[in-house]
Amino acid sequence: MTDVVISADKSRLDINKIHHFLSTESSWAQGIPLDTVQRSIAHSVCIGAYIDNQQVGFCRIITDQATFANLVDVVVWPEYRGQGIAAKLMTAVLQHPSVANVRRFTLATSDAHGLYAKFGFAALNKPDTFMQIYRPDVYTT
Protein backbone atom coordinates (compact mmCIF):
# COMPACT_ATOMS: atom_id res chain seq x y z
CA MET A 1 0.00 0.00 0.00
CA THR A 2 1.16 3.49 -0.81
CA ASP A 3 1.94 5.72 2.16
CA VAL A 4 -1.10 7.57 3.45
CA VAL A 5 -0.47 10.98 4.98
CA ILE A 6 -3.01 12.24 7.52
CA SER A 7 -3.18 15.98 8.10
CA ALA A 8 -5.38 18.48 9.95
CA ASP A 9 -4.04 21.31 7.75
CA LYS A 10 -7.16 22.82 6.15
CA SER A 11 -5.09 24.46 3.41
CA ARG A 12 -4.48 20.98 1.96
CA LEU A 13 -8.19 20.14 1.61
CA ASP A 14 -9.64 19.76 -1.88
CA ILE A 15 -12.91 21.50 -1.07
CA ASN A 16 -14.34 21.03 -4.56
CA LYS A 17 -13.70 17.27 -4.36
CA ILE A 18 -15.26 17.13 -0.89
CA HIS A 19 -18.28 19.10 -2.09
CA HIS A 20 -18.71 16.90 -5.16
CA PHE A 21 -18.71 13.73 -3.07
CA LEU A 22 -21.05 15.08 -0.40
CA SER A 23 -23.51 16.62 -2.85
CA THR A 24 -23.65 13.78 -5.38
CA GLU A 25 -22.46 10.52 -3.78
CA SER A 26 -23.12 10.67 -0.03
CA SER A 27 -26.31 9.33 1.48
CA TRP A 28 -26.51 12.18 4.00
CA ALA A 29 -25.79 15.45 2.17
CA GLN A 30 -27.30 15.13 -1.31
CA GLY A 31 -27.50 18.55 -2.96
CA ILE A 32 -25.53 20.38 -0.27
CA PRO A 33 -24.44 23.78 -1.66
CA LEU A 34 -20.72 24.55 -2.03
CA ASP A 35 -20.98 27.58 0.27
CA THR A 36 -22.47 25.38 3.01
CA VAL A 37 -19.57 22.94 2.69
CA GLN A 38 -17.11 25.84 2.82
CA ARG A 39 -18.72 27.24 5.99
CA SER A 40 -18.85 23.82 7.62
CA ILE A 41 -15.13 23.32 6.98
CA ALA A 42 -14.29 26.80 8.23
CA HIS A 43 -16.03 26.15 11.55
CA SER A 44 -14.88 22.58 12.18
CA VAL A 45 -11.73 20.61 12.87
CA CYS A 46 -10.99 18.84 9.59
CA ILE A 47 -8.70 15.93 8.87
CA GLY A 48 -7.71 14.78 5.41
CA ALA A 49 -6.04 11.65 4.10
CA TYR A 50 -3.62 11.97 1.19
CA ILE A 51 -1.72 9.68 -1.14
CA ASP A 52 0.92 11.39 -3.29
CA ASN A 53 -0.57 14.78 -2.27
CA GLN A 54 -3.98 13.77 -3.65
CA GLN A 55 -6.85 13.78 -1.19
CA VAL A 56 -8.36 10.32 -0.70
CA GLY A 57 -10.29 10.79 2.54
CA PHE A 58 -11.85 13.39 4.81
CA CYS A 59 -13.71 13.90 8.07
CA ARG A 60 -14.92 16.77 10.22
CA ILE A 61 -15.21 17.19 13.96
CA ILE A 62 -17.76 19.68 15.26
CA THR A 63 -16.67 20.55 18.78
CA ASP A 64 -16.50 23.18 21.49
CA GLN A 65 -13.08 21.62 22.27
CA ALA A 66 -14.00 21.32 25.94
CA THR A 67 -17.10 19.22 26.59
CA PHE A 68 -18.66 17.90 23.37
CA ALA A 69 -17.74 16.69 19.90
CA ASN A 70 -19.62 15.20 16.98
CA LEU A 71 -17.86 13.38 14.14
CA VAL A 72 -19.37 13.92 10.71
CA ASP A 73 -18.66 13.56 6.99
CA VAL A 74 -16.31 10.60 7.31
CA VAL A 75 -15.41 9.82 3.71
CA VAL A 76 -12.91 7.63 1.93
CA TRP A 77 -13.27 7.94 -1.82
CA PRO A 78 -14.58 4.65 -3.26
CA GLU A 79 -11.46 3.77 -5.23
CA TYR A 80 -9.37 3.93 -2.02
CA ARG A 81 -11.63 1.95 0.29
CA GLY A 82 -10.42 -1.28 1.85
CA GLN A 83 -6.90 0.02 2.43
CA GLY A 84 -7.20 1.00 6.09
CA ILE A 85 -7.58 4.72 5.39
CA ALA A 86 -10.74 5.08 7.50
CA ALA A 87 -8.90 3.52 10.44
CA LYS A 88 -6.02 5.98 9.99
CA LEU A 89 -8.50 8.87 9.93
CA MET A 90 -10.16 7.57 13.10
CA THR A 91 -6.83 7.22 14.87
CA ALA A 92 -6.03 10.83 13.97
CA VAL A 93 -9.47 11.96 15.13
CA LEU A 94 -9.07 10.39 18.55
CA GLN A 95 -5.55 11.78 18.93
CA HIS A 96 -6.59 15.32 17.99
CA PRO A 97 -6.22 17.71 20.96
CA SER A 98 -9.64 19.28 20.30
CA VAL A 99 -11.36 16.11 21.55
CA ALA A 100 -8.81 14.86 24.08
CA ASN A 101 -10.96 15.60 27.13
CA VAL A 102 -14.51 16.00 25.88
CA ARG A 103 -17.16 14.29 27.96
CA ARG A 104 -19.39 13.23 25.08
CA PHE A 105 -18.26 12.36 21.55
CA THR A 106 -21.04 11.35 19.16
CA LEU A 107 -21.49 10.27 15.58
CA ALA A 108 -24.25 8.89 13.40
CA THR A 109 -23.76 6.03 10.96
CA SER A 110 -26.03 3.81 8.95
CA ASP A 111 -23.46 1.22 7.91
CA ALA A 112 -20.08 1.51 9.66
CA HIS A 113 -20.88 0.49 13.23
CA GLY A 114 -18.09 -2.12 13.21
CA LEU A 115 -15.43 0.43 12.28
CA TYR A 116 -16.46 2.91 14.96
CA ALA A 117 -16.83 0.23 17.64
CA LYS A 118 -13.14 -0.57 17.20
CA PHE A 119 -12.43 2.99 18.34
CA GLY A 120 -14.65 2.91 21.41
CA PHE A 121 -17.93 4.24 20.03
CA ALA A 122 -21.07 2.45 21.21
CA ALA A 123 -24.83 2.83 20.95
CA LEU A 124 -26.31 5.55 23.13
CA ASN A 125 -26.66 4.30 26.69
CA LYS A 126 -29.74 6.49 27.25
CA PRO A 127 -31.26 7.06 23.81
CA ASP A 128 -34.49 8.23 25.41
CA THR A 129 -32.67 11.33 26.70
CA PHE A 130 -31.59 12.51 23.24
CA MET A 131 -33.71 14.67 20.97
CA GLN A 132 -33.08 16.22 17.59
CA ILE A 133 -34.36 18.48 14.88
CA TYR A 134 -33.73 16.61 11.65
CA ARG A 135 -34.30 18.10 8.22
CA PRO A 136 -33.13 15.46 5.74
CA ASP A 137 -34.31 17.42 2.68
CA VAL A 138 -32.85 20.79 3.67
CA TYR A 139 -30.44 20.87 0.69
CA THR A 140 -32.95 19.74 -1.94
CA THR A 141 -36.02 21.81 -1.13
pLDDT in tens, 107-129: 999 989 999 999 999 999 999 99
Mean pLDDT over the full length of the chain:
95
Residue % of the chain over a pLDDT of 90: 91
DSSP-H helix ranges across 1-141: 15-24, 34-42, 85-95, 113-117
* 55-69: pLDDT as tens digits: 999 999 999 999 999
CA 52 to chain centre: 21
- Summarize pLDDT for 28-39 with one digit per residue, the tens: 999 999 999 999
CA dihedral sign of residues 29, 23, 113, 84: negative
Dist. CA 118–CA 111, nearest whole Å: 14
Mean pLDDT for 70-80 is: 96
Burial level of 86, CB count in 10 A (0-12/13-18/19+)?
A: buried
Instruction: Name the band, by pLDDT with cuts 50, 70 and 90, for residue 1.
Output: low
Where do the domains of the chain lie, and which CATH numbers do they carry?
A: 5-129 (3.40.630.30)
